Structure 1
Amino acid sequence: MDDLRDRLARTRWPDEIPGTAWEYGFDLAFLKDICDYWRHQFDWKAQVEKLSSFHHYRYTPNTAGIHFIHERGKGPAPIPLILTHGWPGSFLEMLRIIPLLTDPAAHGGDASDSFDVVVPSMPGYGFSDRPTTRGMNTFRIAELWVELMNELGYNRFAAQGGDVGAGVSTALGLRHSQSILGIHLNYIPGSYRPHLAAKTKLAPVEEEFLKHAAQWYDESGAYAHIQRTQPQTAAYGLNDSPAALAAWILEKFRSWSDCEGDLYR
């Protein structure tokens, strides 16, 4: 923590053309405000206490060790459910929903709708180990999730995921249907589109959608192209500078929402 605060204090800020705000990327004044908040106001102790209220475990297969939360449902027959986060997220995304799923009766729901909830950190995220070999893609992660759930005694289970987690959950349905009760997806990446046969004629509204999707990728998708092609090059700056990492991650959220301000709080 001391090192983080010291790095934030010693951030070497770039110049910017006056009045350009967000035109060329993350606004300088806004990022300075974020980093000042991170350094002086963010309550780390409260976050540790919040994390400690859940049951954390590690699963150690032959590859990268996996961190996960496991909370059992309070109902007559809880359904096993694995929740997979996306990028640039983590298992933290799921903390608010875990009590609703494990104990719906305490939140105005029906106890018969409870779940045994497993929330892993994907390899390279959070408290999970970083991959040391090639091939740690969504299909390999899906295999790890099946192994993990089987180790916990769940031969069949449901899966939910968003963003990269949507890819993992889809892979579970495609490759491991014998183990899957059902899948639920949110924020499905743009690459997930139905197959179109050659010479298929699209409706005008479909053509317009593809046009806007291509435009968004051209204007806001640079991070995705870099991470797919030269991730190691970007990693030097992002791993060394917390301010750079904050700008990289938060810029993606801004490009999703096209808004500023309270989004980051």
Structure 2
Amino acid sequence: MTNPQSIRPFHVNVPEAELTELRNRILATRWPEKETVSDQSQGTQLETMQELARYWANEYDWRKVEAKINAVPHFLTEIDGLDIHFIHVRSKHENAMPILIAHGWPGSIIEQMKLIEPLTNPTEHGGNASDAFHVVIPSMPGYGYSGKPTTTGWDPARIARAYGELMTRLGYEKYVAQGGDWGAIVVDAMAVQEPKGLLGIHTNMAKVIPADVDAAIWSGNPLPAGLSDEEIKACEQVRENKFYYAFIMGTRPQTLTGLVDSPVGLAAFMLDHDWKSLALITRSFAGIQEGLSRDDVLDNITLFWFTNSAISAARIYWENKTSFFAVQGVKLPVAVSVFPDELFEAPKSWTEKAYPNLIHYNRLPKGGHFAAWEQPEYMTEEIRTGLRSLR
């Protein structure tokens, strides 16, 4: 009988028949007519999707990323009745700091893999041995190679507890955590829970909006009086993104059955996360290289396809009962990085109030919501600098 606390090695190997089936489904796509506008105001544009499908079916090579995935150590361990998949790469440097790095939607381990080598091996990537980290990157429940919950209750707080248990199980008595998107919400929850050993967190999607402002943003009511220009801009940025994908997943995730039946349908939905990242990805499929490559985008979508995780991943929106961006009451040390194309740019005024133990705040010159994936050099330096005082 297997010990439920055992840690088992894991390896990815997609059968060739599944690659063939994926290609056939892409080639058999039934297309809608072209949008009736000249911009992306109606969603992911037909030209982008047809170029994505052409490249995906004819030129994309899953085996390249599969080899990259398998080049680092992967494991499974059962926590709270569910298998949690994670990457675990230990640094060769003796005093490395353990860090858990948490992804979100529509993300996966693919997002953070660019961080592994510079964080674990800093002397080869512009840093010092004293900057080294042992890196743990879990797949969220319902995502990628983690198990899919069969009962309700896997909300961000429960995931946070599972991640704390994972770091304890790995033998780390002191560690830090980092996150963006749902990962930011989860590590914020970890910081509220203060599991044994957690020294502090780094976030690139800070939960700093005051409760009354947050309520006004989502209700469409007038904003409270007395906000600074920077604070008003942040509110406008949240409203600008609209988050309709979150509303459908938050209320009717099971209705999205088409996403597990059509790879191109899945891709179109995953691309339309926020207007700035959609614009960036659209440019990449138009041949403009900046931040994310075509392969970067398709590596992540293809992992979702092969793990059949579109709906299991969507359910966290249904499970979640807290605000995406409102203050949660974190008292542990927090480092905040603000990327200009994030869903909103967290004002320093709010950040200092939300995180009374703020140890780092920095605005970056470029980068968006998927910062680790798009701008790994900036993110690496932010993690090193932001968490240095906790060593």
**Letter matched to residue 152 of structure 1:** L
Give the Cα separation in 2 of the matches to 1:104 and 1:200: 46
Distance 1:200 1:177, change over 3 A: farther
Specify which structure has the bigger relative contact order, considering alpha-carbon pairs within 8 angstroms and separated by 6 or more residues: 2
- The alignment status of 1:233 with 2:255, answered yes or no, reads yes
Which amino acid in 2 is paired with 1:163? Answer: D
- In structure 2, which of residues 90, 93, 116 is the aligned counterpart of residue 98 of structure 1? 116
Aligned positions of 1:152-167 closer than 5 A = 152-167=170-185
- The aligned residue for residue 385 of structure 2 is none
Paired residue secondary structure (1:97) = helix
Matched, 1:173 2:191: yes
Judge conservation of contact 1:74–1:111 (CA < 8 Å) in 2: no
* 2:160 corresponds to which of 142, 147, 150: 142
Secondary structure of the residue that 2:56 maps to in structure 1? helix
TM-score (norm 1): 0.89
The yes-or-no answer on 1:261 pairing with 2:283 is yes
List gaps (5 residues or longer) in structure 1.
none
What's 1:242 paired with?
263
What does 1:107-118 correspond to in 2, within 5 Å? 107-118=125-136
**Equivalent-residue separation in structure 2 for 1:214 and 1:95 (angstroms):** 28
How far did residue 214 of structure 1 move? 5.4
Partner of 1:77: 95
Contact 1:104 1:114 in 2 (8 A): yes
Q: Deviations over 1:188-220 (max 9, x none)?
A: 4xx641345999632351563265235414xx4
Unaligned runs of 5+ in 2: 1-18, 216-222, 285-291, 295-391
| Aligned: 1:222 with 2:238 | no
- Which SS does the other structure have where 1:39 is aligned? helix
Offset at 1:101?
A: 0.9
More divergent stretch after superposition (250-259 vs 196-205): 196-205
Residues 144-198 of structure 1, C-alpha deviation per residue, up to 9 Å, x if partnerless?
A: 111111111013210000000001100110012543111000134xx64134599
Question: For residues 164 and 246 of structure 1, do their structure 2 counterparts lie closer, same or farther at Cα, with a shift above 3 Å needed?
Answer: same
Using the TM superposition, give the Cα deviation of residue 249 of structure 1 relative to its aligned residue in structure 2, in angstroms: 0.8
1:208 and 2:229 aligned: no
1:43 & 1:100 partners in 2: Cα distance? 25
Residue 122 of structure 1 and its aligned partner are, at CA, apart by: 0.5
Question: What amino acid maps onto 2:245 in structure 1?
Answer: Y
Q: Does the 8 A contact of 2:44 with 2:278 survive in 1?
A: no
Residue 209 of structure 2 is matched in structure 1 by: 193
Distance 1:19 1:178 in 2: 53
Q: Could you tell which deviates more after superposition, 61-70 or 81-90?
A: 61-70
**Could you say which residue in structure 2 is the equivalent of 1:252?**
273
Structure 1 Cα separation of the partners of residues 196 and 276 of structure 2: 38
Partner of 1:25: 43
Note closer, same or farther for the CA distance 1:58–1:211 as it changes in structure 2 (3 Å cut): closer
Determine the C-alpha separation between the residues in 2 that align with 1:17 and 1:56: 42
Contact 2:86–2:139 (CA under 8 A) maintained in structure 1: yes
Q: CA RMSD in A?
A: 2.3
Give me the whole-angstrom Cα distance separating, in 2, the residues matched to 1:110 and 1:103: 9
Instruction: Give the structure 2 partner of residue 50 of structure 1.
Output: 68
- Offset, 1:77: 0.9
In 2, Cα distance between equivalents of 1:264 and 1:251: 16
Q: 1:211 and 1:104, CA in 2 relative to 1: closer, same or farther beyond 3 A?
A: closer
CA separation in 2, counterparts of 1:83 and 1:211? 27
Say how many residue pairs are matched.
260
Q: In structure 1, what is the Cα distance between the partners aligned to 2:195 and 2:95?
A: 21
3-state SS in 2 of match to 1:181: strand
| Kept after mapping to 2: 8 A contact 1:21/1:28 | no
